[in-house]
Amino acid sequence: MTDPALKIGLFYGSTTCYTEMAAEKIKAALDELLGENTVDIHNIKDVPLSQAQAYDILIFGISTWDFGELQEDWESHWDDIRPLQLKGKIVALYGLGDQLGYADWYQDALGMLHDELQVLGCQCIGYWPNQGYEFSASKALTSDKSQFVGLALDDENQFDQTDERIGRWTAQLIDELSAL
């Protein structure tokens, strides 16, 4: 990262606290790599999405519910995404889902959020390999289906892999930011 004064805004919605816990782990990992207080965390239930416009680098966290549905906080703020002025902003995404219980919709909300942000002209980083997962279909896959459009976490079935995945993903983000 070329400018240490840049702040990262991490915005998430969380019903069962798993997306929030992942946000806290991502913040801790990035603060360790970049220095304390580099990441500001915002729960979209309490903070308007318009605050994302104040950051040059953004991380959005979303979970997929049931049969490919949005998490309730994201669903209630979905119409707030399109008016955001995020053209040229660097954005990374992470999502939570249940790959075994909902194998046909794994990480769908992550893919839907990615699609909304692409329309705004964001520069997305942090794509993640889809190896090591068991699912049938996902809207969160890249066009060649080799990667997720962000970090895919499954605290229902692979909780033991979450910390390691977050560690690898945050290091990947730093590498990608350094290359920009």
Amino acid at 142: T
Q: Is residue 3 part of a domain?
A: no
Domain that holds residue 161: 8-179
Q: Digits of tens for pLDDT over the chain (180 positions)?
A: 445 567 899 999 999 999 999 999 999 999 999 988 899 999 999 999 999 999 999 999 999 999 999 999 999 999 999 999 999 999 999 999 999 999 999 999 999 999 999 999 999 999 999 999 999 999 999 999 999 999 999 999 999 999 999 999 999 999 999 999
Indicate the helix (H) or strand (E) that contains 124. Answer: strand 123-125
In 3D space, the residue among 29, 65, 60, 68 whose CA is nearest the CA of residue 43 turns out to be 60
In this prediction, residue 2 carries a pLDDT of 40
User: CA-CA distance, 64 to 68, in Å (whole number)?
Assistant: 6
Contact at 8 Å (CB) between 108 and 135?
no
Q: Which residues of 60-73 are buried (b: 16+ CB within 10 A; e: fewer)?
A: bbbbbbeebbbbeb
Q: Which region holds residue 13: left if phi is over 0, alpha if psi is between -120 and 50, else beta?
A: beta
In 3D space, the residue among 135, 56, 65 whose CA is nearest the CA of residue 95 turns out to be 65
In this prediction, residue 37 carries a pLDDT of 87
In 3D space, the residue among 30, 10, 74 whose CA is nearest the CA of residue 166 turns out to be 30
Residue found under tokens 């896959």: 141
CATH (domain of 59): 3.40.50.360
Contact at 8 Å (CB) between 147 and 118?
no
In total, how many domains does the chain have?
1
Q: Is residue 1 part of a domain?
A: no
Distance spanning both ends of the chain, measured CA to CA = 8
Q: Is residue 2 part of a domain?
A: no
